[in-house]
Amino acid sequence: MNAVTPVTSSQPIPLLQPDPLITIEKLQVRFGDVAAIDGLSLIVRRGEFISLLGPSGCGKSTLLRAIAGLVPSAGGDIILRDAGLRTGFMFQKPLLLPWRTALGNVVLPVEIQNGGSVVDSTDDYRARRMLDMVQLGDFADAYPQQLSGGMQQRVALARALMGDPDVLLLDEPFGALDELTRDVLNEELVRIWQSRETHLKTVIMVTHSIPEAVTLSDRVIVLTARPARLIEDVPIRCPRPRTPEDPDAISVMKHIRMMVRASR
C-alpha cells in the first residue's frame, strides 16, 4: 500500500506561482436546512486547470454554481481578482436552442451582451472561428436535432468560448457522453485551453472520474460527501500530453482513490 510515494504533495511546485484569480474563503451554501458546502476555502490561480472531484451529490457542482453566481452563499466569500472577470459556464446537457442553427446558438452570448439581436460580421466571423475550433466548421447551419450528442456538446463548448471567458466553469461537461467520445472531447478541451487564440487561461471542471481529473488537471481538489469539505488538494506534475496509462498518472490515481476510501 505504501508503495505510493505521493508523486505529488511532497515536492515543491515550481510552475504555479500563487497568482490568485478566484479566492474562496470559508464558503457556506445551504439548501433550506441542509448544508451543501460548509466552510470550504480554495484559491484558484491564473492559468490553472483544476478539477473538483468527489462522489455524486457531494456539493462539487454547487461549488461551481456558487462561483458562477447561480446559487447564493450563506456565508464566507468568493473574491474575484477583478470585477470584470468573465466566466463561461458549460452544463452537463448541451442546452442548445432547437430553433437556432449551430451558428445561431454560438452567437447567443454576444446577442445577449449587445442587448439585441443585431450581430455584426465580426461576431459572425468569430462564431465561425469558435465552431472551427471545436471541429464543427462544416456544421454551422445544422440544427441541434441533426447533430449527435457529442457534436451538440461541442457547440455548447463553442458557445461558452464565444463570451471570451477568462475562466471556464465546466459542470461534468462530457459526463453524459460515451467514454470514447468523452476522451476525444477532453483532449480537445486541453488543446483549446493551451491554445493562444482565446483569453481562456483557467478552467475549473467538476467530475467524478478520477482518471479524467488526473489526465486533465494541474490540480485535483478532492472533496468529501455532503457537506463538501476538502480532503486534499493534489497537484499533478506529470508532463503533458498525458494519457491515463502513464505510470505517474496511475500512481496519482491510486493515491487519490485511497484517500477517498479513507475518508469514508
Partner 1 sequence: MKSHVQSPLLFGVLLLAAWQAFVMAAHVPEYLLPAPSVIFANIDRALFVQLGVTFAEALAGFLIASVLAFVSAILFVRFRALEEGLFPIAIAVKTTPIVAVAPLLVIWLGTGWWSKIVAVVLISFFPVLVNAVKGLKAADAEYRELFQTLGASRAQEFRKLRIPYCLPYLFSALKISSSLAVVGAIVGEFVGATQGLGYLIIVSSAHLETATLFAAIAAAALAGIAMFYVIGWLEKRLVFWHQGEGE
Chain residues that interact with partner 1, rule: CB under 8 A? 68-70, 87-89, 91, 93, 95, 97-99, 108-109, 111-113, 115, 143, 145, 163
Q: Which is nearer to partner 1, 5 or 113 (CB)?
A: 113
Q: Which is nearer to partner 1, 68 or 231 (CB)?
A: 68
CA atoms within 13 A on the CB side of 15: 11
CA–CA dist 169, 39 (Å, integer): 21
Minimum distance from residue 219 beta carbon to partner 1 (Å): 23
For residues 65 and 113, is the Cβ–Cβ distance under 8 A?
no
φ, ψ at 192 (rounded to 5°): -65, -40
- C-alpha cell recorded at residue 40: 470550504
Q: Which is nearer to partner 1, 96 or 252 (CB)?
A: 96
Minimum distance from residue 99 beta carbon to partner 1 (Å): 5
Residue type for position 81: R
Q: Which is nearer to partner 1, 79 or 95 (CB)?
A: 95
- List beta partners, residue 27: 40
Minimum distance from residue 95 beta carbon to partner 1 (Å): 5
Minimum distance from residue 193 beta carbon to partner 1 (Å): 19
Minimum distance from residue 191 beta carbon to partner 1 (Å): 24
Q: Which is nearer to partner 1, 30 or 93 (CB)?
A: 93
68-to-21, 22, 86, 122 alpha-carbon distances in Å: 14, 11, 10, 27
- The burial of 119, by beta-carbon neighbours within 10 Å (0-12 exposed, 13-18 middle, 19 or more buried), is given as middle
